[in-house]
């Protein structure tokens, strides 16, 4: 059985893991995810997030169910639920099979809808192949650098600005890094009206190329789309998401969206151990994640 090509992260050297671990000096963990709940804001077109009871102590009693057999003098009960949601709910990481392009609807690594899309999701580079991420993380706080709470609606972040933010913060972006970019958008969460007034700032294609040149294995922002929307330059092919195409489809740089970077920015932490453990679900196209920055 051959090991699938999962992108640059698949070659993460052990010494990079050790180097990243050495960034921990205080043992403090900062969550990069907000709480998920029914009715939460989501990217339009995704199904709503739902949590529904399946088993409850009262339901067990009323139905006369005997999950442990006839002996239950203690009145033991339990609760279990359905969580029905897209894997792209809240803070999440796109799997390599998430986005397709072209008439053949292809994705990274030779996947295509005609050859690899079953009734139960993609069979090539689905979420079951997503690896753990334990490496150096870098925060580029663009909103903080501009001195605003949140970038304006449709504001692009280009390569020159990422370079300027990194220089101002005194950090470099290096191979194997995960770079998270703050626009301030999650500072408006969960006020849907205020969020709508700021949709959607983010990196443009020049910023994506800047990240590629530095060898990052993943990158994320605090918006639902990662990249600036609408795209400033959809190109001759009219591509509405050229950054996803360049990073995820063509180069297997994993993308994260809806990261909560507010606490990290308030603490002015720009270098840290980044940890995210995607859930391996066959047929899924991404994973909800609750990443942490460890310092």
Asked whether the predicted pLDDT for residue 197 surpasses 90, the reply is yes
Distances (CA, A) of 144 to 43, 44, 166, 229, 260: 25, 28, 12, 21, 14
pLDDT at 145: 98
Beta-carbon contacts of residue 55 (< 8 Å; ≥ 6 apart): 78, 79, 80
What is the domain class of 8-42+88-294 according to CATH?
Answer: alpha beta
pLDDT at 181: 99
Average pLDDT in the 255-262 region?
98
pLDDT at 236: 77
| Residues 275/291, Cβ–Cβ less than 8 Å | yes
| Residues 94/249, Cβ–Cβ less than 8 Å | no
Average pLDDT in the 32-55 region?
95
Identify the band that residue 183 occupies on the pLDDT scale cut at 50, 70 and 90.
very high
Asked whether the predicted pLDDT for residue 47 surpasses 70, the reply is yes
Average pLDDT in the 72-99 region?
96
pLDDT at 13: 98
**Model confidence over 124-154: pLDDT tens digits?**
999 999 999 999 999 999 999 999 999 999 9
The pair of structure tokens assigned to 169 is: 């913060």
**Model confidence over 204-223: pLDDT tens digits?**
999 999 999 999 999 999 99
Q: What is the spatial distance between Cα 279 and Cα 190, in angstroms, rounded to a whole number? A: 25
What distance, in Å, lies between the first and last C-alpha atoms of the chain?
39
| Residues 215/256, Cβ–Cβ less than 8 Å | no
Q: pTM of the entire structure?
A: 0.95
What are residue 137's DSSP bridge partners?
Answer: 178, 272
Identify the band that residue 1 occupies on the pLDDT scale cut at 50, 70 and 90.
low
| Residues 82/54, Cβ–Cβ less than 8 Å | yes
Cβ of 127: how many Cβ atoms within 10 Å?
24
DSSP at 245: I
Structural domain spans, the chain = 8-42+88-294, 50-84
């Amino acid at each position: 059985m051959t090991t699938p090509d999962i992108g640059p992260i698949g070659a993460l050297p052990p010494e990079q893991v050790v180097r990243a671990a050495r960034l921990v000096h205080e043992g403090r963990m900062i969550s990069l995810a907000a709480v998920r709940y029914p009715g939460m804001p989501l990217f339009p077109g995704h199904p709503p997030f739902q949590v529904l009871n399946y088993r409850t102590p009262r339901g067990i009693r009323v139905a006369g169910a005997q999950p442990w057999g006839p002996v239950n003098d203690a009145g033991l009960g339990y609760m279990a639920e359905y969580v029905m949601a897209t894997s792209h709910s809240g803070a999440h990481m796109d799997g390599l099979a998430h986005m397709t392009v072209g008439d053949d609807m292809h994705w990274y690594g030779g996947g295509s809808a005609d050859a690899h899309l079953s009734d139960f999701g993609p069979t090539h580079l689905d979420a079951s192949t997503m690896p753990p991420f334990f490496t150096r993380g870098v925060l580029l706080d663009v909103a903080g650098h501009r001195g605003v709470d949140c970038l304006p609606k449709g504001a692009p972040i280009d390569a020159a600005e990422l370079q300027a933010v990194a220089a101002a913060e005194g950090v470099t972006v290096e191979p194997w890094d995960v770079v998270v970019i703050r626009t301030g958008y999650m500072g408006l969460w969960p006020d849907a009206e205020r969020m709508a007034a700021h949709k959607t700032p983010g990196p443009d294609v020049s910023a994506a190329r800047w990240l590629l040149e530095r060898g990052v294995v993943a990158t994320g922002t605090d918006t639902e789309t990662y990249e600036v929307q609408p795209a400033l330059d959809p190109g001759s092919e009219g591509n509405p998401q050229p950054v996803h195409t360049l990073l995820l489809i063509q180069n297997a740089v994993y993308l994260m969206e809806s990261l909560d970077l507010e606490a990290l920015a308030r603490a002015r932490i720009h270098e840290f151990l980044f940890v995210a453990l995607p859930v391996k679900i066959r047929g899924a196209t991404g994973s909800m994640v609750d990443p942490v920055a460890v310092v």
